Amino acid sequence: MSEAKDTLLRLFTLLRPIPEYPRYASSPTLLEKLHERGFSVDLRTVQRDLNRLSIPFSLISDESSGRYRWSHTKDTPLDLRDMEPSTALALVLAASHLNSLPPQSVINLLGPQFNKARNYLEDLGQNDLAHWARRVRAHPNGKALLPAQVHAAVWREVSTALLERRRLRVSYLSRRKAERKELLLHPAGLVSRHSISYLIGTVDGYGDLRQFAMHRIQQAECLEVAADCSEPLDVDHYIRNGFNASALIDDVELVADVSPQIAWLLKETPLSTDQSLERLAECDWQRLRARVPQDQETLWWIFGLNDNIQVHEPTVWQTQIRSKLELMRRRYEATAPTLKATP
């Protein structure tokens, strides 16, 4: 390796173990790091290099302890630091959690950061954190469907149109009619919901917001024409007021009796901020009260509890539950197989 390349590599290697302020690394510690990476230099060379790098790379020096200590300024524009263990662990956990959420094309964009975190942990050698990449997982509560696949080119065009507020021409597969439509859209927002991502926007010539499943966009082209956006979409307000619903969603008071295991779960992970649980006098079940959205998702959650819950209010949910149970009973009775006695 030429002397110039060797010096450049040494300088980059020197910058990496320097932490962010208010943490510091002393010059002798940085010298030891260089020796570990095979650079034969002395302390004077390290100190000279640090002085040269301090201005262009926003380094801070401190001599209060009797020896020079160095740190990166907060939010340094060019971050060449080594990844810290806590950051690496957070990224590994995030990768495991995100695996079943956004489309794969989005996960692929984050791949280099996730790989950097895994490689960092593996390079720790005999350190206890070395094998955390194989120990850490995020496991969803309930059955998680595989994420719908979105073409990388579609994601790129949609992202650009959304961020730059430009119109979008798409070829969209309509689920209702099972046919492709050519649409001109004005993107307003993006919502990732379970295993499906939705583009929120208006169709050219219409003013009502609609939802377009990203995986049903067959082709997309970001145009050099500004989208019609009178004001930015408040995505949180949009979600609260009827995402995937035909009408605005109101809150209702859920009153139900729940089994001991569900009561324990709800004490640790409440259903709402105003939730209350009161032990029933005649048994070990508890009376649950909570303000919840009167939406399909909450009702699905109740159905998922099976015989561990008995709903008292709202009465409309009582009626729906009775109807669903009666329909299931009739369906299973109509299709019940004839069992033959085994000899």
Q: Which tens digits make up the pLDDT trace of 130-158?
A: 555 566 666 666 666 777 888 888 888 98
Token code pair at residue 74: 């907060």
Q: Per-residue pLDDT for 128 more than 70?
A: no
pLDDT, tens digit (0-9, with 9 covering 90-100), for 312-342: 999 999 999 999 999 999 998 887 665 555 5
Asked whether residue 72 carries a pLDDT value surpassing 90, the answer given is no
CATH 2.30.30 for the 152-240 domain, yes or no: yes
**Could you say which of 1.10.10.10, 3.40.640.10, 1.10.540.10, 3.30.1330.10 is the CATH number of the domain covering 3-72?**
1.10.10.10
Residue labelled with tokens 């959690």: 97
Query: Domain extents for the chain?
Result: 3-72, 85-135, 152-240, 251-332
Residues of the chain with pLDDT > 90, as a percent, come to: 29
Q: What are phi and psi of 104, to 5 degrees?
A: -60, -30
What pLDDT score does 185 carry? 95
Least reliable range by pLDDT among 55-69, 262-276, 329-343: 329-343
Closest CA to 51 of 70, 31, 78: 70
CA distance 156 to 233: 21
Residue 170 has pLDDT above 70, yes or no: yes
What is the distance between the alpha carbons of residues 53 and 33, in angstroms, rounded to a whole number? 17
For residue range 183-222, list pLDDT tens digits in order.
999 998 888 877 788 899 999 988 888 889 999 999 999 9
Residue appearing with tokens 């926003």: 58
| Element of type H or E holding 280 | none
Average pLDDT taken over every residue of the chain: 80
Q: 237: exposed, middle or buried (C-beta count within 10 Å: 0-12, 13-18, 19+)?
A: exposed
Rg (alpha carbons) of the chain, rounded to whole number: 29
The confidence score (pLDDT) of residue 1 equals: 44
Stretch 236-264: mean pLDDT: 81
**Residues contacting residue 341 through CB under 8 Å, at least 6 positions apart:** none
Q: Residue 266: is its pLDDT beyond 70?
A: yes
pLDDT number for residue 309: 95
pLDDT digits (tens, 9 = 90+) for 16-45: 888 878 788 899 989 998 898 888 899 999
CATH fold of the domain at 251-332: Alpha-Beta Plaits (3.30.70)
For residue 88, which amino acid is it? Answer: A
Question: Residues 171-179: what's their mean pLDDT?
Answer: 83
Q: Is the pLDDT of residue 106 over 70?
A: no
Element (H, E) at 293: strand 286-293
Tokens 């939406």 sit on residue: 295
Q: What is the pTM of this model?
A: 0.57
Maximum average pLDDT range among 94-103, 131-140, 160-169, 303-312: 303-312
